[in-house]
Amino acid sequence: MITTEILVIGAGPAGLMAAIHAAEAGAKVLLVERADRLGGQLIKQTHKFFGSKAEFAGERGMDIAEKLINQSSDISGITIWKNAVVLGIYPDGVVTISYEGAFCTARPKKIIIATGASEKTMAFPNNDLPGIYGAGAVQTLMNVHGVIPAKRILMIGAGNIGVIVAYQLLQAGVKVAGIVEAAPQVGGYRVHAAKLQRHGVPIYTSHSIQSAHGDSCLEGVTISKLDEQWQPIDGSEQYIAVDGLCLAVGLSPLTELLWQAGCEMKFAAELGGYVPLRDANMKTSHENIYVAGDVSGVEEASAAMVEGKLAGLYVASVLGHKKDSFTKEFQTAKSQLSALRSGPASVKICTGLSKVVLEEVG
């Protein structure tokens, strides 16, 4: 049995920040990561981040990952386990973990769950053909492993991920046949959409995919135009020959451990699905379980980092590790989060949050 003060589950942007800030305050942290490297999905983000300087604006996601990973390795209060999958959280406080293939148990005082999210798919005929990928999968293949997923790709979804990954496909030398978006306008950052248009990539707004075609692998896709009620217009079908289809249609939080531990959950479509109820300090309905990042509602990585910082600082303080600068740092992080959520693009996020964030306690 391993004993630690804080167990942080997941070493993406939220988990790394939580571990760093809790350990800096003086807490002993065990940081477990299921993959064989730290950084979560930051490692494949080759684009520069928005936000303010405090959230590393202007830096590429992969460079932010490197900074946070180095920082977490330099702090003696953090023990890092890679290739470590958390299996369950039990009522007596014991957490079971498969670490490098061995069965381990830990008994932390507090747990911060930062497991992130997984990509959604879409219902259409032949949506299981090889050659149809989540947008994140394509980023992983290209930006982490240096492998091109297909020769010519159609992107579904013109939100931030759709436009960013479409541009990254061009950078990797893949032809982008177009971007299909059901809404009448592009949802992603203008700057990215404009880059694509300069490269002659057509953006099909008010369009949706009807079906995919192919024998053993994807060979083409039929799209059609949508009317004002978002219904396909008969006769508007067009066939696009592609060997790759990329779905950028959102993410849903990876909440299995929260359900299993008995945290109270609520459906908030704006946040990607079921998320845990929590207070403004990221504490769930479970006395010892906190959350940070996409598992508590899908947002940008910048917000995940700030949530991680909040959770890390707060949990450490609950355990008696309160820095002199705690109040100032904590309030600054809260203002950062409000600033990140103040734009018109964040209205949806705020609506979702209003359903699941309980009144601040204490």
Partner 1 sequence: MRIVNHPILTFPKRDMVTFTLNGQTIEGIAGEPIAAALHAADVKVLRHSHGRHRPRGLFCAIGNCSSCLMTVDKIPNVRVCTEPLRAGMVVETQEGKGKIV
Q: Write the CA distances from 16 to 38, 293, 305, 327, 355, integer angstroms.
A: 8, 11, 8, 21, 27
First to last CA, the chain: 32
Would you state the structure tokens that stand for residue 336, as one six-digit string? Answer: 């950062």
Size of the chain in residues: 362
Span from 28-36, 94-102, 268-276, 282-290 in contact with partner 1 (CB under 8 A)? 28-36
- Indicate whether 281 belongs to the interface with partner 1 (CB under 8 A): no
Cβ(221)–Cβ(207) below 8 Å: no
199-218 residues in contact with partner 1 (CB under 8 A) are: 216-217
- Indicate whether 61 belongs to the interface with partner 1 (CB under 8 A): no
- Indicate whether 121 belongs to the interface with partner 1 (CB under 8 A): yes
Of the pair 168, 206, the CB lying nearest partner 1 is at: 168
Span from 33-41, 186-194, 328-336, 339-347 in contact with partner 1 (CB under 8 A)? 33-41
Report the C-alpha gap between 224 and 147 in whole angstroms.
Answer: 31
Q: What's at 89, amino acid-wise?
A: I
The candidate with the shortest Cα–Cα distance to 87, out of 284, 237, 260, 265, is 260
Helix (H, G, I), strand (E, B) or coil at 213: strand
Among residues 13, 15, 39, 149, the one that binds partner 1 under rule CB under 8 A: 149
- Indicate whether 198 belongs to the interface with partner 1 (CB under 8 A): no
- Indicate whether 228 belongs to the interface with partner 1 (CB under 8 A): no
Least separation in angstroms between residue 81's CB and partner 1 is: 16
247-276 residues in contact with partner 1 (CB under 8 A) are: 254
| SS3 labels along 2-49 | EEEEEEEECCCHHHHHHHHHHHHCCCCEEEECCCCCCCHHHHHCCCEC
For the chain, the farthest-separated pair of C-alpha atoms sits apart, in whole angstroms, at: 68
Among residues 54, 59, 60, 334, the one that binds partner 1 under rule CB under 8 A: 60
Report the C-alpha gap between 94 and 28 in whole angstroms.
Answer: 17
| Residue 152, beta-bridge partner list | 175
- Indicate whether 101 belongs to the interface with partner 1 (CB under 8 A): no
Of the pair 128, 228, the CB lying nearest partner 1 is at: 128
Binding mask 162-181 vs partner 1 (x if CB under 8 A, - otherwise)? ---------xxx--------
Among residues 147, 241, 347, 350, the one that binds partner 1 under rule CB under 8 A: 147
- Indicate whether 87 belongs to the interface with partner 1 (CB under 8 A): no
Helix (H, G, I), strand (E, B) or coil at 77: coil
Of the pair 128, 359, the CB lying nearest partner 1 is at: 128
Of the pair 254, 337, the CB lying nearest partner 1 is at: 254
Among residues 75, 104, 122, 129, the one that binds partner 1 under rule CB under 8 A: 129
Among residues 16, 132, 155, 161, the one that binds partner 1 under rule CB under 8 A: 132
Report the C-alpha gap between 303 and 51 in whole angstroms.
Answer: 9
Of the pair 168, 288, the CB lying nearest partner 1 is at: 168
- Indicate whether 66 belongs to the interface with partner 1 (CB under 8 A): no
The candidate with the shortest Cα–Cα distance to 257, out of 276, 234, 233, 238, is 276
Report the C-alpha gap between 307 and 299 in whole angstroms.
Answer: 11
Among residues 59, 66, 119, 219, the one that binds partner 1 under rule CB under 8 A: 119
Among residues 53, 91, 101, 145, the one that binds partner 1 under rule CB under 8 A: 145
Binding site for partner 1 (CB under 8 A): 34-36, 41, 46, 60, 118-119, 121, 128-134, 136-138, 140-143, 145-149, 171-173, 216-217, 254
